[in-house]
């Protein structure tokens, strides 16, 4: 296994990685807090949450297995060379575990808060069942030959596919409602910062090793950053340019903003 050539770059790698972890981890809380304050999940797309849980679960399996398993690490070095470094950092493991817990909590809020007429679509449900069924088949294919690196690469590919798909229902809902009310922009801003830091971390490692293998050795991490950044820019454009939010009217009794759930565009205070 390769070692760092530059101590400053090694320190920068760790610092930037934990910045990505912090930004991405905190990004889950604005939506949770918004749901809690409104006692409503109207405006949050349920397909997005379900697909997001599948995405983060797949990413967690990949990160945890590659980071902790000596057997899988050996298979990685046999494939990419002993001079390379494992493309998963401690912050990747911590983030993915945290993400699964917080996304599951968001899904729980959907069950207990006002949600209007929205339901999880058959498409999203069917896709999740198909994905996990495919993963189960791959496990039994990998079992006889102990091809664990191949198997976790499948999970990494799943998380990339889910990253591509998961944002689309929310973007479509915002477009249909002509509003981003109920969808936290704080989530997006923090996610954007995390994506930039995550990509920068890979750049730092590549500069130190004078090799770009980690970009395709962990193609999932690369695409995760780029796809997240793309959709974050789209959501920021929707929120600040296409559908800017107007201030809610003050309640005459309390002087506070109204938190009345918004169910359809004709009743939205935007």
Instruction: Quick: pLDDT tens for 83-124.
Output: 778 888 888 899 999 999 999 999 999 999 999 999 999 999
CA atoms within 13 A on the CB side of 210: 3
Name the band, by pLDDT with cuts 50, 70 and 90, for residue 261: very low
66 with 86: CB under 8 angstroms?
Answer: yes
CA atoms within 13 A on the CB side of 132: 12
223 with 159: CB under 8 angstroms?
Answer: no
List, for residues 192-210, the tens digit of each pLDDT value.
999 999 889 889 988 888 8
Tell me what the mean pLDDT of segment 244-258 comes to.
52
pTM for the full model?
0.79
Least Cα distance to 71 among 156, 154, 136, 150 occurs for 150
Tell me what the mean pLDDT of segment 22-36 comes to.
92
Is the pLDDT confidence value at 3 over 90? no
Token pair belonging to 68? 């902790």
CA pair distance 249, 269, nearest whole angstrom: 8
In sequence order, what DSSP letters do the residues of 14-79 get, joined into one string?
A: HHHHHHHHHHHHHTTHHHHHHHHHHTB-TTS-HHHHHHHHHHHHHHHHHHHHHHH-HHHHHHHHHH
Least Cα distance to 54 among 138, 158, 157 occurs for 158
Is the pLDDT confidence value at 263 over 60? no
Name the band, by pLDDT with cuts 50, 70 and 90, for residue 249: low
Contacts of 39 (CB under 8 A, 6+ apart): 113, 114, 259, 261
84 with 11: CB under 8 angstroms?
Answer: no
Name the band, by pLDDT with cuts 50, 70 and 90, for residue 260: very low
- At 247 the pLDDT is 61
Average pLDDT over the chain, rounded to whole? 87
CA pair distance 158, 135, nearest whole angstrom: 9
**First and final C-alpha spacing in the chain:** 55
Q: Give residue 52's Cα distance to chain centre.
A: 6
Is the pLDDT confidence value at 29 over 90? yes
Is the pLDDT confidence value at 65 over 90? yes
The C-alpha R_g of the chain, in whole angstroms, comes to 20
Is the pLDDT confidence value at 180 over 80? yes
Name the band, by pLDDT with cuts 50, 70 and 90, for residue 28: very high
| Range scoring the smallest mean pLDDT among 29-33, 65-69, 113-117, 245-249 | 245-249
Q: Give residue 263's Cα distance to chain centre.
A: 26
Is the pLDDT confidence value at 256 over 90? no
Token pair belonging to 218? 């962990």
Name the band, by pLDDT with cuts 50, 70 and 90, for residue 230: very high
More confident residue, 218 or 95: 95
CA pair distance 228, 9, nearest whole angstrom: 25
- At 4 the pLDDT is 85
């Amino acid at each position: 296994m390769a070692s760092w050539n530059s101590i400053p770059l090694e320190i920068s790698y760790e610092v930037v990685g934990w910045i990505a972890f912090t930004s991405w981890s905190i990004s889950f809380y604005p939506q949770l807090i918004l749901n809690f304050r409104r006692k409503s999940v109207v405006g949050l797309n349920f397909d997005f949450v379900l697909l997001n849980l599948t995405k983060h679960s797949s990413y967690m399996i990949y990160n945890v297995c590659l980071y902790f398993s000596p057997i899988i690490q050996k298979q990685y070095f046999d494939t990419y060379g002993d001079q390379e470094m494992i493309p998963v950092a401690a912050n990747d493991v911590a983030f993915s575990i945290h993400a699964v817990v917080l996304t599951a909590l968001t899904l729980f809020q959907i069950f207990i808060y006002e949600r209007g007429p929205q339901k999880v679509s058959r498409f999203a449900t069917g896709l999740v069942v198909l994905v996990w069924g495919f993963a189960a088949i791959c496990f039994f294919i990998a079992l006889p030959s102990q091809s664990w690196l191949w198997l976790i690469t499948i999970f990494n590919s799943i998380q990339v596919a889910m990253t591509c798909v998961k944002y689309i229902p929310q973007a479509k809902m915002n477009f249909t409602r002509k509003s981003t009310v109920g969808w936290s922009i704080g989530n997006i801003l923090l996610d954007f910062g995390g994506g930039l830091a995550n990509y920068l971390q890979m750049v730092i490692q590549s500069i130190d090793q004078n090799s770009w293998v980690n970009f395709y050795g962990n193609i999932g991490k690369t695409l995760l950053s780029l796809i997240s950044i793309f959709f974050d820019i789209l959501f920021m454009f929707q929120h600040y340019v296409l559908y800017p939010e107007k201030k809610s009217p003050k309640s005459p009794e309390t002087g506070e903003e109204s938190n009345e759930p918004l169910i359809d565009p004709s009743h939205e205070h935007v």
